Amino acid sequence: MKFLIVGLGNIGAEYANTRHNIGFLVADELAAKHNATFSTERYADKTEFRSKGKTFIVIKPSTYMNLSGNALRYWMQQEKVLLEHVIVVTDDLALPFGKVRMRGKGSDGGHNGLKHIQQILNTGDYARIRVGVGNEFAKGQQVDYVLGAWTGEEKEGLEAVVQKSAQGCLSFAFIGVALTMNTFNSK
């Protein structure tokens, strides 16, 4: 059984340590925990590992955030992964820093990466983990905030947030979205 984990972010050194790239950090955590190495492939950096009889394909789209759906669709088709076995990891301004929420479906919530995925898939019925990055920005400064670097205080808590999000991805595959939401969202 195959699962596709899509960590959203933007490629390039200028985006590496920004809030918008939390999905890439979670993808990196999953790869590191399973001694997997990313290779540059079509539309994404991709790695693969097995755990408890399941195969995990992890991608970091190279399409930039606003075209993330292209990478997701390509790798779903290439690896023959069912939509119910896809999970997307993304930043969320509506959640305070460190808060992590899993959903089995939903709206794009104004997030351009999710908006493109929903346009490409023609549905919002896919699992996602939304990682809170807070909203400590002045009116009109949203783009600068999400593309800004983590504060010192955020960096201190970042590793735990990334690890929790990575665990949520695996739990989704092992026990399903409903049970994962019940345990994961209540912590």
27 φψ region: left (φ > 0), alpha (ψ -120 to 50), beta (else): alpha
The domains of the chain are located at 2-184
12 φψ region: left (φ > 0), alpha (ψ -120 to 50), beta (else): left
Q: What's the confidence (pLDDT) of residue 140?
A: 85
- Indicate if the pLDDT at residue 187 is higher than 60: no
- Indicate if the pLDDT at residue 126 is higher than 70: yes
Q: Is 34 a residue of the active site?
A: no
Which residues, at least 6 apart from 144, have a Cβ–Cβ distance to it below 8 Å?
137
Question: Per DSSP, which regions of the chain are E strands?
Answer: 2-7, 39-41, 44-51, 54-61, 86-92, 100-103, 127-132
What is the pLDDT confidence band of residue 55, given thresholds at 50, 70 and 90?
A: very high
Percentage with pLDDT > 70 across the chain: 99
As a whole number, mean pLDDT of residues 157-183 equals 95
Tell me the torsion sign for CA atoms 140, 141, 142, 144: positive
Q: What's the confidence (pLDDT) of residue 146?
A: 92
Residue 111 to residues 67, 130, 154, Cα–Cα distance (Å): 12, 10, 21
Q: Contact, 122 vs 167, CB < 8 A?
A: no
Q: Which residue in 75, 48, 49 sits closest to 61, CA to CA? A: 75
Q: What homologous superfamily is domain 2-184 in, according to CATH?
A: Peptidyl-tRNA hydrolase (3.40.50.1470)
What is the pLDDT confidence band of residue 110, given thresholds at 50, 70 and 90?
A: confident
Catalytic residue among 20, 85, 111, 116: 20
Mean pLDDT (the chain) is: 94
Give tens-digit pLDDT for 11-38: 999 999 999 999 999 999 999 999 999 9
Q: Contact, 75 vs 62, CB < 8 A?
A: no
